[in-house]
Amino acid sequence: MVTLEELQARITRLDDIKQIEKLQRIYGYYLDYSEYQKVVDLFSENVESVEIADYGVYKGKKGVKRFYLELLGGKPPRVGELSIGMIMQGVVDVDPNGKTAKGRWYCMMIEAKPTLSLHEGELRQLWGNGVYENEYVKENGKWLFKKVFFFLNFRTPYEDGWLKVPVVGQNGPSAEVPPDAPPTFYHPYPAGVHLQPHYKHPITGK
C-alpha cells in the first residue's frame, strides 16, 4: 500500500507539470502583447540565459532585462506590428529533486513586422516556426524560467512560404544592445540540423 508521503510526491509532480505548462503559456500571451516587464518577472533572479534565434545569448537576469526591455521593448510598437506565438505540444520533465525541470515546445508564429533586409517602413506578414528547449526552476513554491532557448526553423513571407524563402531578414546580433555571446545553435531550414530534445527515449532510455 502506498504511503501518504509517496502519494503526495506523485501529486506534487503532476501539479508541477501543470504549473510549468501554465507558466510557458502565460509567457506566450505576454509576448503577444509586448508586455516585456511581465515577461522579465517570469524569470528567476538566478536565470542562466535567454537565447532566441540569431539574437545571441543574453546571460543572467541582467541579460534577460537587456534582451526583453532594452532590445525588444526599446522602441514603442508600431501600428500594425503583430507578433503572435502559439506555443504548443509541451513535453515537460521534472527532475527527480522536484526543483528543476525542462520543457520542449513547438511555436507557430503569425506576424506582421518590418524586416531588416527591407526598407524600414514596410511591414510584412510572416509565418514562423520553431522549437523551444527551456529550463525551469521552483523557488518559494513557484515555477520560474531558468533558461529560454528558441530554435528558429523558418520565418517566411506569407506570400512565399518556407521552401522559397526560409528566413526573411536578420535579427541579431544587435549593435545597440549586444549579446553576451554569439548564437550557439542557429541553423534554420533547410540546414537539416535539428535541435535535439532534452529527454531520453521513453522506452529504450537512450
Partner 1 sequence: MNLEELEKQVTLMEDIQEIENLQRIYAYYFDLQRWQDIVDLFSDHAESVEIVDHGVFKGKEGVKKMYWDWIGQGGKSFREPWIQFVILQIGGVIDVSPDGKTASGRWQTWLCEAKPFGAYPRQEWLHGYYENKYVKENGKWLFSKLHWNNTFCSPFEDGWIKTPLMGLMNFHPTIKPDAPPTAFHPYPSGYHLPYHYKHPITEK
By 3-state DSSP, what share of the chain in percent is helix, strand and coil, each rounded to 5? Answer: 25, 35, 45
Exposed (0-12), middle (13-18) or buried (19+): which is 69, by Cβ within 10 Å? middle
Find the shortest distance in angstroms from Cβ 55 to partner 1.
Answer: 23
C-beta closer to partner 1: residue 34 or 174: 34
For the beta carbon of residue 109, count every other beta carbon within 10 angstroms: 19
- Helix/strand/coil for 95: coil
Contact present, 167 and 156 (Cβ < 8 Å)? yes
Min dist CB 33 to partner 1, Å, is: 5
Residue placing its CB nearer to partner 1 in the complex, 66 or 113: 113
CB of residue 124 to partner 1, shortest distance in Å: 7
Q: Which is nearer to partner 1, 37 or 184 (CB)?
A: 37
Indicate the residue among 19 and 49 with the shorter CB distance to partner 1: 19
Give min distance, CB of 192 to partner 1, in A: 27
Query: CB 107 → partner 1: shortest distance, Å?
Result: 10
Give min distance, CB of 99 to partner 1, in A: 17
Complex with partner 1: residue 124 or 146, whichever CB lies closer: 124
Distance CA 110, CA 183 (A): 23
- Give the residue carrying C-alpha cell 508586455: 35
**CB environment 24-62: b (16+ within 10 A), e (fewer):** beebbebbeeeebeebbebbbeebbbbbbbbbbbbbbbe
3-class secondary structure, 111 = strand
Chain residues in the site for partner 1 (CB under 8 A): 4, 7-8, 11, 14-15, 18, 22-23, 25-26, 28-29, 33, 38, 41-42, 77, 79-80, 82, 84, 86-88, 108, 110, 112, 123-125, 142, 144, 158-159
Collapsed DSSP state (helix, strand, coil) of residue 54: coil
Residue 18 or 200 having the CB closest to partner 1: 18
